[in-house]
Amino acid sequence: MQKNKFDIGNIVFEPFKIKSVEPLPLTSAEERQKWIKSAGFNVFALKSNQVTIDLLTDSGTSAMSDRQWAEMIRADESYAGSRNFVELEETVQELTGMPYVIPVHQGRAAEHLLFSTLLKGGEIIPSNGHFDTTQANIEDCGASAVNLPIVEALDPFLEYPFKGNLCISKLEELLQEKEAQIPIVMLTITNNTGGGQPVSLENIEAVAKIAKKYKKLFIIDACRFAENSFFIKIREEGYADKTPKQIAQKIFSLCDAITFSGKKDAISNIGGLLCFRDQQLAEELKNRLIITEGFPTYGGLAGYSLAAMNQGLKEVLVEDYLSYRLRTVSWTAERLIESGIPVVRPAGGHAIYIEAAKFFDHISRQHLPGIALTTAMYELGGIRGCELGTVAFGKRDEKGEHIFPALDLVRLAFPRRVYTEAHMGYVVECIKHIYNSRASYSGFEFEQEYKVLRHFRSTFRRV
Ligand SMILES: *Cc1c(COP(=O)(O)O)cnc(C)c1O
């Protein structure tokens, strides 16, 4: 694994110093037991001041830089033609090579705008791995979202450099069978649902070639484009001498449109983008944007949020930042793996994923080992992770029996520039402690179960 050039031994070198601090909520075990119980054992229902280390998501939780805050104060809040839109548009055009840049309030708004314009119902949209909101937006238009990961991605413990790749032969097969139903081919970089795993440039090129051959729109969900670009630099032959920006530019040159959440690799607290090349589509989308998000030069955002994204997009491509970013995640994963804890390998770009059904191998999958683990981490250490297993991705058949997803994962997502090595060391120690006394933990079942995106609001009880 690539290390930061300031790495000495096994430390994580954070390439910044801290000039504004926020105290961490320090709570007692009794308080945490009471709070998680009244949250129905769903960590989404906890209040943030009840959480000490919050690894629920890396979305919108980044620490902004002094420069981002400075740009926010300087921002222009004009309704139309804001300077911050012009500056952001220039940055994004240069990065993506796409002439049309539409700001939106977050990634899913870009998805909604695009799919509700392009889809009529009955279509099939293949991808390496659709994110949950992408899938929900596609299904909301009456179309279906299909994931075509490579076989290597199905083995969570197999070391493979580009587990985010899309299976090219499965894509060709699907296109040969159902071409008329497929207007769009998608790629998510990095593949969030698949463990934050990167996609290689070779794979992106191959998908682009097939999309071109069949005359399909090729759309990249680019939420973590900078992390993916850095993985290409350090893992793919031929890119070691390229900058992350050059690699990102190459990626974007291969697709027709981009959906993007500024809450990820724009290191911002809110915002998103929709970028594309087609002028006619631009006209249509801008008109629809006015109905749902706002005028095309602000798209539902304040001028200061456009400013934060613009500056964040520059900082996120700095190599020292990216090297530190990926190292924090791999450092944590290495320590857990050393202790025998089943972590998805290799470590992803923004998160580590623990296989909860293997961690708690005495808890059957219908008793939700992922909820047992998120509860244990919170009760012991005030740590908030996110179940991405049976609760998030499972379903019920007609008889009400569980349909299990492939794995029962718990995700620990890393907010950008927020926690230090000491904080992650604390997280590692807590998880080790739970693992060493794992036999004393028991499972859960649904109390109140919601049908869609059920991890957000369902509640549970101990069995
Ligand atoms: C977060 C995310 C989205 C949705 O973006 P929001 O800003 O949360 O609406 C879409 N795709 C991927 C891969 C994401 O990680």
Distance from chain centroid for Cα 178: 29
Query: What does the pLDDT look like over 349-393, one tens digit per residue?
Result: 999 999 999 999 999 999 999 999 999 999 999 999 999 999 988
The answer to whether the beta carbons of residues 392 and 368 sit under 8 Å apart is no
Q: How far apart are CA 226 and CA 244, in angstroms?
A: 7
For residue 106, give the ligand 1 atom closest to its CA. 7
pLDDT tens-digit series, residues 77-87: 999 999 999 99
Which is nearest to 223 in space by CA: 159, 316, 157, 137?
316
- Tell the residue nearest (CA) to atom 11 of ligand 1: 131
- Please, are residues 454 and 391 in contact by the beta-carbon 8 Å criterion? yes
Mean pLDDT of 393-422: 92
What is the C-alpha to C-alpha distance for residues 135 and 215, in angstroms, rounded to an integer?
Answer: 22
341: left (phi over 0), alpha (psi -120 to 50) or beta: beta
How close is the Cα of 271 to the center of ligand 1, in Å? 10
Report how far residue 368's alpha carbon sits from residue 360's, in angstroms, rounded to the nearest whole number: 10
CA of 265 to the centre of ligand 1 (A): 10
- Among the atoms of ligand 1, which is closest to the Cα of residue 261? 7
CA-108 nearest atom, ligand 1:
9
Annotate 12-25 with b (16+ C-beta within 10 A) or e (fewer).
Answer: bbbbeeeeeeeeee
Residue 3 has pLDDT above 70, yes or no: no
* pLDDT for the residue 7: 62
Torsion 134-137-143-144 (CA) sign = positive
Ligand 1, atom nearest to 271 Cα: 7
Give the ligand 1 atom nearest the CA of 272: 7
Mutate which of 132, 261, 292 for ligand 1? The one with the most ligand atoms within 8 Å of its CB, which is 261
For residue 301, report the phi and psi dihedrals to the nearest 5 degrees: -115, 155
Looking from the CA of residue 192, the nearest atom of ligand 1 is 13
Of ligand 1's listed atoms, the one at least distance from the Cα of 109 is 9
* Ligand 1 atom with the shortest distance to the CA of 263: 7
pLDDT band at 97; cut points 50, 70, 90: very high
Cα-to-centroid distance, 331 and ligand 1 (Å): 25
HSE-up (13 A, CA, CB side) for residue 287 = 6
Distance 190 CA to ligand 1 centre (A): 11
Cα–Cα distances (Å) from 449 to 40, 335, 373, 443, 461, in that order, read 11, 35, 19, 16, 11
Whether the CA torsion 242, 243, 249, 252 is positive or negative: it is positive
pLDDT, one tens digit per residue, over 128-174 is: 999 988 999 999 999 999 999 999 998 999 999 999 999 999 999 99
Centre of ligand 1 to C-alpha 419, Å, is: 22
Prediction pTM value = 0.94
pLDDT, residue 292, reads 87
Per-residue pLDDT reduced to its tens digit, 37-94: 999 999 999 999 999 999 999 999 999 999 999 999 999 999 999 999 999 999 999 9
Q: What integer pLDDT is reported at residue 411 of this predicted model?
A: 95
Mutational test site, ligand 1, from 114, 127, 130, 131, max ligand atoms within 8 Å of CB: 131
Task: Please tell me the distance between residue 133's alpha carbon and the centre of ligand 1 in angstroms.
Answer: 7
Pocket of ligand 1 (CB under 6 A): 59, 106-108, 131, 133-134, 188, 192, 221, 223, 261, 263-264, 272
Ligand 1 centroid – CA 131 distance (Å)? 7
In the predicted model, is pLDDT for residue 6 greater than 70?
A: no
CB contact burial 431-442 (16+ within 10 A = b; e otherwise): bbebbeebeebe
* Distance in Å, CA 111 to ligand 1 centroid: 9
Residue 221 alpha carbon to ligand 1 centre in Å: 8
Ligand 1 atom nearest to CA at 193 = 13
Question: Per residue in 411-421, pLDDT tens?
Answer: 999 999 999 99
Atom of ligand 1 nearest to the CA of 188: 13
Distance 101 CA to ligand 1 centre (A): 17
For residues 198-208, give the mean pLDDT.
Answer: 98
Residue 8's pLDDT band, with cuts at 50, 70 and 90, is low
Confidence of residue 210 (pLDDT cuts 50, 70, 90): very high
pLDDT in tens, 238-249: 999 999 999 999
- How high is the pLDDT of residue 212? 97
Sequence letter at residue 326: L
Average confidence score pLDDT of the chain: 94
C-alpha of residue 188 to centroid of ligand 1, in Å: 10
Render pLDDT for 253-264 as a digit per residue (tens, 0 to 9).
999 999 999 999
Which protein residue's CA is at the shortest distance from atom 4 of ligand 1? 107
CA of 143 to the centre of ligand 1 (A): 19
86: Cβ contacts below 8 Å, ≥ 6 apart = 297
Pick 429 or 393 by higher pLDDT: 429
pLDDT at 1 (0 to 100): 47
Closest C-alpha to 231, from 196, 262, 188, 267: 196
* Ligand 1 pocket test, candidate residues 106, 137, 223, most atoms within 8 A of CB: 223
From the list 65, 137, 101, 108, the residue with the least C-alpha distance to 298 is 101
